[in-house]
A and B are shown apart, each in its own frame.
Chain A
Amino acid sequence: MNRCLACCFAVLLSAGTVFAQVKAKAQNVPEIPYDSVANFLKLPAGLYMGEAMGVATNSKGHVFVYTRSALTRLFEFDQNGNYVREIGEGNYGFEFAHSVRVDPQDNIWVVDEGTNMVIKFNPAGRIVMVLGHRPDAVAGALASPAGPPPPAEKYLFGRPTDVAWDPQGNIFVSDGYTNHRVVKYDKNGRFLRQVGSEKPGSEPSQFNTPHGLAVDAQGNVYVADRANHRMQVFDNNLVLRAIYDNIGDSWTVCISPGPHQYLFTSNSNPNGNAPGTWDITGEIYKMELDGTIVGKFGHASKELGGFQVAHMLDCRNPNEVIVAEIESWRVQKLLLKPQPATSASR
């Protein structure tokens, strides 16, 4: 038993080094000034935010937060931050929140890494499609199997992390912590193709913890390849187009709508901060789609205006970025102040 424990710790330690944070290579990036809206989301008495994993807005500006409280829950707020309702209460797919996104038709999608499910709610809050299959309870809790991971399957996820759509409605899922791939499905949920596999890797088109993704208006797919300290960009058929490796660890990505789209990514400070970590992490980058950095904002901090492990961004309005934080159990709305359109060196 002792030996087993020691092995466990060794594995944990090595996993820790895998996720060690790096300082972004980009230099002389202009700072974008901003204000944080205090007390943006107002929960009724008796309701509390847990780890804020996912945040997204719909076309009306309503804010959806997928959070780990005693139970994993999905809350909706209006554009002023007033609490509206809970969605999906107690459903079979809610166990360990990871992401929420809202599609162009205002359907609400959540990604749950505890149940390995991607769940689509219609705007009324009813489940209309599920992807993946939660492992059956009847087998009981099982010790982790030894040996290499089994091949990734078309319709099963291994702790998936995020979901996005192209203009045709095709569905992209980043999958995830135990698989290391991005999967494309058609709008009816049929498997089309994937890039990556069940194995982590650092070569182009391989992933090590694809942790988030977003799709631009042309259907290109931007993947936060977190533990490889980079973002990878693919065309609509998941063929590699570019790698952006100057922005630290890409934890999450967000692309603003409209004729001129911007790309946001967070070099989040990690869970478990060594001395000095806060000095080199925590900033969010605003970029052109081609990878040119426009500017950066934010820093690691537990206090308002800083971030303690930013986990997800909403950038429906590129000048009002909403940030969900794991360790500070909160959601902040940032008002970015207008900037002259200068670009930094990459």
Chain B
Amino acid sequence: MRRFLLISFAASLLSGIPAAAQFSVPEIAFDSAADQLKLPDNLHLGEVAGVATNSKGDVFVYTRTGHPTISIGTARPFAHGGSRLFQFDRSGKFTREIGQDSYGFMVAQQVRIDPQDNIWIVDQMSSMVIKFDPNGRPQLLLGRKAEAERVPALPLNPEPAPAGGPGGRGPAPGPGPAPAAEGPPGRGGRGGPPGAGAQSDIFQRPTDVAWDAAGNIYVADGYGNARVAKFDKHGKFIKSWGSRGLAPGEFNTPHGIALDAQGNVYVADAGNRRIQVFDSDGTFKTLFLNSGTPSAICITPGPHQYLYSSNSNPPDDIDVNGEIYKMELNGKIVGRFGRAGKVPKEFGTVNAIDCRSENELYIGEIGNWRVQKLALHSN
């Protein structure tokens, strides 16, 4: 394996070919603990949208445990519930639930932990980003949940879903790229039509959140909008960049976001099947086309940072994609591991990667309703 890696590196260095043309990507061997997290008998993980660890090794899971409930018999249908946030200790023992019955917990999309161990969740349906302090109390709220939902929903945008998007029965925009829904009534302030690249602090189905060293907040937004929104650490809206499109700096379902130690912003531009890199002001720097449909990304801490990116399978097919790439920050692929499937060491529509430790990853799966803790073999 080690020799193989060296040869592969040497080959690409000698020939000067870009990573996209690497003819063989080394397989990284790994083990999996698929039942690492122990829940009480009456609690179950649903689709795992987000998983993240804090500095103590506690594990946080934001999961879709049901569909939002609509109250009927009123002039407008009000929706609530559908997702829950669980905390486990580093041994996998259930510790507590955070944000029970929160007004903003509807369709879980992501959870991330900032350097101060605050817990941030992103909810795709309430279009909110919520910061909880380490004690689990809300500290900062970004966005606003629509007052009511339209039932039945308005027709979806007729734009066809790009390759790798969810197909199948009914309009089911999964974690893969998908056409955007029109905002329901009461979302007049959603920043205009989907994909227009709103200059607004209101989100439309946001997907992820990240921070730079100064605490500025970056939100990938998302299925509805196609932009990155930047806030200062107090939650004041600064700017946004991007709109729907193919050109560099444009997005088609930005589905994940992560920053490196220099403040560069890596955006998983899932619908365009590429990772785009910007400086912290949103100036385009480069893009990577070598790792499929990036549906979840993560950057390791420490002096030598790595980028992990999942080429997740769509939720309706386990016979395509599914592997995760380990990359240098310049886009060069170090190796890959895993494939789509249902048994341990296989992945079902990965939506989250935690890589606080380079070789000890937590993987959140939409398709398999579970978290796997992976131990990557470091040769």
Contacts and interface: CB of A to CB of B under 8 A. Distances in A.
B153 A141 contact: yes
A85 interface: yes
Interface string B106-125: 11000000000000000011
Contacts of B107: 136-138
A139 B341 contact: no
A139 B172 contact: yes
Given A89-B44, A90-B42, A155-B317, A139 B343 contact: no
A89 B41 CA distance: 8
15 contacts: A85-B41, A89-B41, A92-B63, A92-B369, A125-B41, A126-B39, A130-B369, A135-B170, A136-B173, A138-B107, A138-B124, A140-B149, A140-B184, A141-B153, A189-B318
B76 interface: no
Contact of B172 (A86, A136, A155): A136
Contact of B341 (A86, A145, A154, A190): A190
A304 B373 CA distance: 52
Given A92-B46, A143-B152, 12 more contacts: A90-B66, A92-B64, A126-B39, A133-B172, A137-B106, A139-B153, A142-B170, A150-B168, A155-B316, A188-B342, A189-B343, A190-B342
Interface size class of B (residues with CB under 8 A): 35 or more
A139 B171 contact: yes
B70 interface: yes
A92 to B, nearest CB: 3
Interface in A141-156: 141-143, 145, 150, 153-156
A24 interface: no
Contacts of A156: 168-169, 316
Interface of B: 35, 39, 41-47, 63-68, 70, 82, 106-107, 124-125, 149-153, 156, 166-174, 181, 184, 205, 223, 315-319, 341-343, 346, 367-370
Contact of A158 (B149, B169, B370): B169
Nearest to B34: A128
Contacts, number: 128
Contacts of B370: 127
Q: Which of B67, B319, B367 has the most CB of A within 10 A?
A: B67
Interface in A263-295: none
Contacts of A130: 342, 367-369
B349 to A, nearest CB: 8
Contacts of A145: 170
B168 A153 contact: yes
A75 to B, nearest CB: 13
B68 A141 contact: no
A154 to B, nearest CB: 7
Nearest to B341: A188
Contacts of B369: 92, 127, 130
B46 A188 contact: no
A138 B47 contact: no
Nearest to A121: B44
Contacts of A129: 342, 368
Given A92-B66, A153-B168, A141 B151 contact: yes
Contact of A142 (B125, B153, B168, B223): B153
Given A136-B174, A138-B181, A139-B172, A127 B44 contact: yes
Nearest to A116: B169
Contacts of A136: 107, 166, 172-174
A88 interface: yes
A130 B369 CA distance: 8
A133 B66 CA distance: 13
B185 to A, nearest CB: 12
A91 interface: yes
B316 A142 contact: no
A155 B320 CA distance: 12
Contact of A191 (B106, B124, B319): B319
A95 interface: yes
Contacts of A127: 44-45, 369-370
Contact of A92 (B65, B152, B223, B341): B65
A116 B170 CA distance: 12
A310 B150 CA distance: 38
Contacts of B39: 126
